[in-house]
A and B are shown apart, each in its own frame.
Chain A
Amino acid sequence: MMQNKFTDKKKSIDFSLGNLNLSVDVYKNIFLKELNFIKNINNELFSIRVENKLIPKNKYKIEKVSKNTDDNFTFISIDFSQIFENDFFEGRISFVQKKKNIIDFIFQLSAKWHKDIPKKVLLKFPFLINLHKNKNFLKPGDIFDGKKRINKGVWNLHEYPPSIISDNLGNQCLGFEFYDQFPWQANYNLGMSEAISNENFEKLETEVQLNRELTDIILMKIYISSNGREKIFNLWKENTRQRYDLRKYHDNKNRWIKNNYLQHFMFAYGEEAFDYKKMEFKIIQIIKEGKEFGGYDSILFWHQYPRLGLDESNQWQLYKYLPKNYKTIKKIVDICHSENIKFFIPFKPWDIRSNESLDSHAKSLERFIKETSIDGFFLDTMSSLPDSFLKIKKKFPLFEFCSEGTPREQRQIETLTSSWDQIGDIRRNFKVEINSNFFRFLFPEHPLNLVSRWSVGSDKDSLIKRAAFNGMGMVIWQDIFGCWLPFSIEQKKNIKSLKSTLKKYHKYFYGDNSVPLIKTLSEKIICNEFSNSFSKEKIYSIYNFSSNKIKGRILKLPSAVKEFKQIYGKSANIKIEKKQNNFYLLANLDLDDVMLLYIKFDI
């Protein structure tokens, strides 16, 4: 390994590390001057407060600046020290490159405390505040609507998409990620992920516990792109996914859950599901009505809640009390199977009694599968798959699990291979927003069914649009535990159309090369792109969130177009324009409208 020591007293040091160029002023303090295309940053990399006293800016002593390189990676580090009152601090700032276009920024700190008694230390990162203030800085899921940054993306997992800063043309971009899968570990990216995604970044002060050894305080990944922010997303996606073991998604090619576009929530206690005169379930009627939505792919039978707890009967015993006990379920399952519909029953983790275990529930489930031929287990209130249930997959390889909550952590995502994307809260004035679900794009192999149980009227319209915009299926849930909230005829038609589109273009919607929130040519339009690697075909989901009709250029396309057609939504009069070897998509898009567009490129 080669090592260079920078001992000269230059005012600033310019580094070049892969595609990252930065200039750091180390003369009096440790200032970041420039970072690639971002000039005149001129802000401290960090500031430290000890027991509410700010260490003066000119007190740092640069001990060493070094660059090390070998065949596999390169790093540059700046070692510094500081005596403040009776305490001695040492720190190191490093830039490490192991992969092309990805740089790790590492900030470490140690303290030798006077009389070995630690003090309260708070850190700020002023250079990030300056980046954050830049008009071209977009937090994860943000877009610039012409006046301000607004959020049009959501993610609900312990992976944090990078914030992105770009040049004025939007080509040169840097992404900043604070990886933080376990958000309570000491001295590690504390609060950074949340702070950089919220407005209060300037207020963030991170508390750290220091001792004699250098401890990691910040590990920020810098992603570098000269091809726009879509490339940053792909770098982050690739880098994130490679940590994951996704075999459970790909080992079995017959995973029917991939085609579970519409799941019906069959609430047992109501006219929709139960014939009070004949005292039997109306499964044939339900299936028939399901055709108005385009046909249910699965049915989730629900009768335990809100009934459990009236007496000591547990969730399995309640099946015995149905008409003709288990045979009722078996009969319903057989009818569903004859219509190519899969059947779920739910598991209630909150009902586990003191004399029960997850293993005993797994055994009950196994018996139930044998008796009734059900296809799946829905994990109520859960977002993870217990190992006890995972073993079921070995005996019944086609059996599937689907959870109410989208899994958030790595192990959960690896083992639990489908879930709901549930939004909404009855306690607040909840408005269904049409935005991009980043989980959907990070793990396209994980089917999500969108649901907002309490939404009615225009919110139900928005829910359908949101499903279309994200290219995902839905849960058709109309009887909310005894509150009847049906879809309208028009809404049913829209869902039918969406399902048909998702089914026909499945390989693109669930492709591995999809990107949320690609750059558009209108500040009031957002767009997701769905595609497979090496494919000439793409699907674009486009949403006009303005209060006016938008007419004209919507997207700049990557190349000439061989074929195109609108595949969902009101007709938007799509045209392709060629100008000076550039290709543009022209549309006439109504306000608050989502359309889906198929394009085959002539590459």
Chain B
Amino acid sequence: MKSVENKKIFINSNKYVYRVEHLTLEGTCSIDHGPKYVEIKNLFVDKYPVTNKQYLNFLKKTGYFPKDNQRFLEHKPNKSIYDLPVVFVSQKDAAEYAKWAGGRLPTDEEWQYIASGPKYLEWPWGNKFNPTLCNHDGQHLVCVNVYRKGASWCGCEDMAGNCWEWTADIHDDGNHQFALLRGGSYFYAHDHWHVGGGARKNNYHWKLQILNEGMNRAATLGFRCVYDAK
């Protein structure tokens, strides 16, 4: 069976109003959530989250292996799950891949624009939630190209549900370091004290407080890359 080919989609430069919601339960998410005018430069973006196959290829070509390897690729990717998004990667693991692939991780602002576009859609496919267009509240990860009708305005798929996606930065409020995750995942824990699960709206990010790499990797956390264009 032929594997999914992760195409690059071009995004024209544009300016848009960034305004994001978050849910941190208790504590704060100390960044500016907008509204603010931001500029997105010309760039390419992966149509899908990076797959297991792509990541294994990266390992094969580079010999990359993190110094702190707790939970690194804990799901033991193999041929049978080539087209699932790669997970159990930290932000560093993701950034290393992106660098090798000639790109980088998207910023929080870029990710939102790729998902919602110039029409400020609430979900990648439109303004109304539709659980049949994403892997929401499911039992496990699915292949990245299963929900074709759930694509965003520019053709990116799997932007809501299936796996959370890393964004580029580590934010530092002087006392804490945290990263912002996007898109939600298939997993929906049962209690309101848990991290809010399921697919998440385009304008939603979740604050992941950074600790050691073992804690920074998870079964629901992957990434996609963007590539600067001239």
Report which A residues bind B (CB closer than 8 A): 268-272, 274, 276, 279, 303, 305-313, 318, 320-323, 325, 348, 350-351, 353, 381, 426, 479-484
A310 near B209 (CB under 8 angstroms)? no
In the complex, A310 Cα to B27 Cα: how many Å? 17
Does B221 sit within 8 A of A, measured CB to CB? yes
Q: Pick 16 A–B contacts, CB within 8 A, sort by A.
A: A272-B175, A276-B210, A306-B27, A306-B209, A307-B195, A309-B195, A310-B208, A310-B221, A311-B185, A311-B219, A311-B221, A325-B214, A479-B176, A480-B27, A482-B209, A484-B174
In the complex, A308 Cα to B220 Cα: how many Å? 12
B214 near A269 (CB under 8 angstroms)? no
Stretch at the interface among B34-42, B97-105, B186-194: B186-194
B187 near A306 (CB under 8 angstroms)? no
A482 near B189 (CB under 8 angstroms)? no
Taking CB atoms, residues of chain B closer than 8 Å to A481 are: 24-27
Taking CB atoms, residues of chain B closer than 8 Å to A274 are: 211
Does B71 sit within 8 A of A, measured CB to CB? yes
> Which B-chain residue is minimally distant from A276 (CB atoms)?
B177
| From A303, A305, A312, A350, contact of B215 by CB (8 A) | A303
A268 near B211 (CB under 8 angstroms)? yes
Does B218 sit within 8 A of A, measured CB to CB? yes
A310 near B220 (CB under 8 angstroms)? yes
In the complex, A305 Cα to B220 Cα: how many Å? 17
A-B pairs with the 6 shortest C-beta distances? A309-B194, A482-B27, A309-B189, A481-B27, A269-B209, A309-B195
Contact with A along B202-213 (1 / 0, CB 8 A): 000001111111
In the complex, A381 Cα to B192 Cα: how many Å? 13
> Which B-chain residue is minimally distant from A269 (CB atoms)?
B209
In the complex, A335 Cα to B68 Cα: how many Å? 24
B218 near A351 (CB under 8 angstroms)? no
| From A271, A310, A322, contact of B195 by CB (8 A) | A310
Q: How far is the CB of A361 from chain B (nearest CB, A)?
A: 15
Taking CB atoms, residues of chain B closer than 8 Å to A381 are: 193
Q: How far is the CB of A378 from chain B (nearest CB, A)?
A: 15
B193 near A482 (CB under 8 angstroms)? no
Does B132 sit within 8 A of A, measured CB to CB? no
Decide: A323 near B175, CB < 8 A? Known: A306-B24, A311-B221, A481-B25. no
Taking CB atoms, residues of chain A closer than 8 Å to B173 are: 484
Does B28 sit within 8 A of A, measured CB to CB? yes
Taking CB atoms, residues of chain B closer than 8 Å to A311 are: 185, 187, 218-221
In the complex, A482 Cα to B29 Cα: how many Å? 8
| From A308, A310, A322, A350, contact of B212 by CB (8 A) | A322
| From B28, B185, B191, B218, contact of A350 by CB (8 A) | B191
Does B164 sit within 8 A of A, measured CB to CB? yes
Q: How far is the CB of B214 from chain A (nearest CB, A)?
A: 4
Q: How far is the CB of A303 from chain B (nearest CB, A)?
A: 7
Contact with A along B143-160 (1 / 0, CB 8 A): 000000000000000000
* Interface set, chain B 78-122, CB cutoff 8 A to A: none
A312 near B210 (CB under 8 angstroms)? no
Given contacts A306-B25, A312-B187, A323-B214, 8 further A-B contacts (CB under 8 A): A270-B175, A271-B175, A279-B68, A305-B25, A311-B219, A311-B221, A322-B215, A350-B191
> Which A-chain residue is minimally distant from B192 (CB atoms)?
A350
Q: How far is the CB of B24 from chain A (nearest CB, A)?
A: 7
Does B44 sit within 8 A of A, measured CB to CB? no
> Which B-chain residue is minimally distant from A354 (CB atoms)?
B190
B175 near A303 (CB under 8 angstroms)? no
Taking CB atoms, residues of chain B closer than 8 Å to A306 are: 24-27, 193, 195, 209
Does B58 sit within 8 A of A, measured CB to CB? no
> Which A-chain residue is minimally distant from B23 (CB atoms)?
A306
Q: How far is the CB of B25 from chain A (nearest CB, A)?
A: 5
| From B164, B175, B178, B191, contact of A310 by CB (8 A) | B164
B194 near A321 (CB under 8 angstroms)? no
Q: How far is the CB of A414 from chain B (nearest CB, A)?
A: 28
Q: How far is the CB of A274 from chain B (nearest CB, A)?
A: 6
Q: How far is the CB of A483 from chain B (nearest CB, A)?
A: 5
In the complex, A271 Cα to B70 Cα: how many Å? 22
A482 near B176 (CB under 8 angstroms)? yes
> Which A-chain residue is minimally distant from B163 (CB atoms)?
A311
Does B197 sit within 8 A of A, measured CB to CB? yes
Most buried by A among B207, B213, B215: B215
Most buried by A among B176, B185, B217, B218: B176
Taking CB atoms, residues of chain B closer than 8 Å to A320 are: 214
A318 near B215 (CB under 8 angstroms)? yes
Most buried by A among B192, B194, B207, B211: B211
In the complex, A566 Cα to B134 Cα: how many Å? 68
Decide: A308 near B175, CB < 8 A? Known: A321-B215, A323-B214, A480-B27. no
In the complex, A321 Cα to B210 Cα: how many Å? 13
* Interface set, chain B 19-33, CB cutoff 8 A to A: 24-28
B187 near A269 (CB under 8 angstroms)? no
| From B28, B68, B195, contact of A482 by CB (8 A) | B28
Taking CB atoms, residues of chain B closer than 8 Å to A268 are: 211
B219 near A308 (CB under 8 angstroms)? no
B178 near A482 (CB under 8 angstroms)? yes
Most buried by B among A311, A350, A426: A311
A269 near B210 (CB under 8 angstroms)? yes
Q: How far is the CB of B165 from chain A (nearest CB, A)?
A: 13
Taking CB atoms, residues of chain A closer than 8 Å to B193 are: 305-306, 308-309, 348, 350-351, 381
Q: How far is the CB of A451 from chain B (nearest CB, A)?
A: 14
In the complex, A271 Cα to B211 Cα: how many Å? 10
> Which A-chain residue is minimally distant from B213 (CB atoms)?
A279
Most buried by B among A272, A276, A306, A484: A306
Taking CB atoms, residues of chain A closer than 8 Å to B25 are: 305-306, 481
Q: How far is the CB of B181 from chain A (nearest CB, A)?
A: 8
Q: How far is the CB of A587 from chain B (nearest CB, A)?
A: 41
Taking CB atoms, residues of chain B closer than 8 Å to A271 are: 174-176
Q: How far is the CB of B219 from chain A (nearest CB, A)?
A: 4
Taking CB atoms, residues of chain A closer than 8 Å to B208 are: 307, 310
Q: How far is the CB of B182 from chain A (nearest CB, A)?
A: 13
In the complex, A308 Cα to B71 Cα: how many Å? 16
In the complex, A163 Cα to B218 Cα: how many Å? 56
| From B70, B190, B211, contact of A269 by CB (8 A) | B211
Taking CB atoms, residues of chain B closer than 8 Å to A350 are: 191-194
Taking CB atoms, residues of chain A closer than 8 Å to B209 are: 269-270, 306-307, 482
Q: How far is the CB of A518 from chain B (nearest CB, A)?
A: 39
Taking CB atoms, residues of chain A closer than 8 Å to B70 are: 321, 323, 325
Taking CB atoms, residues of chain A closer than 8 Å to B196 are: 309
| From B27, B189, B213, B220, contact of A483 by CB (8 A) | B27
> Which A-chain residue is minimally distant from B68 (CB atoms)?
A279
